[in-house]
Amino acid sequence: MLSCKQVAAVASDYLDNNTPLKWQIRLHLLMCANCRRFVRHLKITRDISAKIVGEDASVNTDVIWKNLQAQLKKEKLPDRE
Amino acid sequence: MIMTSVKLTPLARIELCAPPQPNMSSRMNSTTTKIPPDENELITKLMRGDDQAFRQLIAQHHSLMLSIARAIAGDTFADDVVQEAWVSVYKNIASFERRSSLKTWLLTIVSNQAKARLRKESRQVSLDQLDGEVPGSYLDGAHFKADGHWQQPIPQWNTESPEALLEERQLQCCINRTLNLLPPAQKAAFILRDIEQQSFDDICKILTVSATNVRVLVHRARLTLMQVIDRYQETGSC
Ligand SMILES: [Zn+2]
């Protein structure tokens, strides 16, 4: 029988379907309300965080593009001389 | 009582919350698709040397590439590394062979660039040395009795509805802020796995950490974010 501590440690693997302990974890969850809540909350966390976390709105494409052009120009100069 | 356990590194940046983005859900959907339907068209334009298409590429992927560069080479070199990566992408896009998705190709380039930079600066690759147990986190031994049972009940949430939680602006703010305070390796692993839906194999290659460690990094990031929600449910703030 797994302990709560062991279940907590592999809960993400369980959610990602990435653990050989799947049935042992299920058995524990059947009997342990705390771990059921823990796993449920972890799943909600994973699912909503992925939706909330947006791309960094602060990317300044113009600056990056200009730096890129400047770098390319710098690298080309020696060829021309 | 559970403490929120965000480890503040000296280099961590606190980013202010962006104004609400009305079309966030549709935008997120388009970025989580592994190979976007319009990717072929974009690639064709890029290979033809279409500068507008290249700018679009920058706008779409710069932020992700920066997270990867920070995780591997650290904050000091990250901006440089990504800039070098764009130069390399620009020079090599004509010979892109479509053997992988464009995103995977970009991630490989920035990852290689970051590793090369690290070697050049002769610094140790420290990604595999994970930061250890954070005191107060759910994995902290103090949360458990000697027999491995929870010391205290897992806090109840007032609402467990993902839809309702997604409506909470303040919570979104707290989650975004916390993500930016995570150690760079955790942040990168979390973004690659949970947002970009990359396979564990690919994440291992990009970040050069073992599969086990990728899983540990992702798990820790999720647990920290879960404690943010615990706290939000209890206090209504971060
Ligand atoms: Zn339990």
In a 13 Å sphere around the CA of A29, the CA atoms on its Cβ side amount to 17
Quick check: A42 contacting B, CB < 8 Å?
yes
Of A48, A55, A61, which is closest to B166 when you measure between CB atoms? Answer: A48
DSSP calls for B64-106? HHHHHHHHHH-HHHHHHHHHHHHHHHHHHGGG---SS-HHHHH
In a 13 Å sphere around the CA of B50, the CA atoms on its Cβ side amount to 12
Give the list of residues 6+ apart from residue B231 with CB closer than 8 angstroms, or none. B2, B4, B174, B237, B238
Domains and CATH numbers, chain B: 37-120 (1.10.1740.10), 127-235 (1.10.10.10)
Report the residue of A43, A51, A58 to disrupt the B interface, i.e. the one with the largest count of B CBs within 10 Å. A51
Bridge partners (DSSP) listed for residue B150: B144
Look at residue A76 and tell me whether its pLDDT is greater than 50: yes
d(CA B36, CA B226): 30
Residue B154 Cα to ligand 1 midpoint, Å, equals 10
- The residues spanned by each domain of chain A are 4-74
Complex ipTM over 0.90: no
| pLDDT tens readout for residues A9-26 | 999 999 999 999 999 999
Phi, psi of B175 (to 5 degrees): -65, -45
d(CA B3, CA A71): 47
pTM of the model: 0.80
Of B25, B64, B218, which is closest to A12 when you measure between CB atoms? Answer: B218
CB A1 within 8 A of CB A26: no
Look at residue A37 and tell me whether its pLDDT is greater than 80: yes
pLDDT tens for chain B, residues 1 to 238: 444 444 433 333 333 344 444 333 333 333 333 456 678 899 999 999 999 999 999 999 999 999 999 999 988 899 999 999 999 999 999 989 888 889 999 999 999 999 999 888 876 555 544 555 667 789 888 999 999 999 999 999 999 999 999 999 999 999 999 998 999 999 999 999 999 999 999 999 999 899 999 999 999 999 999 999 999 999 999 9
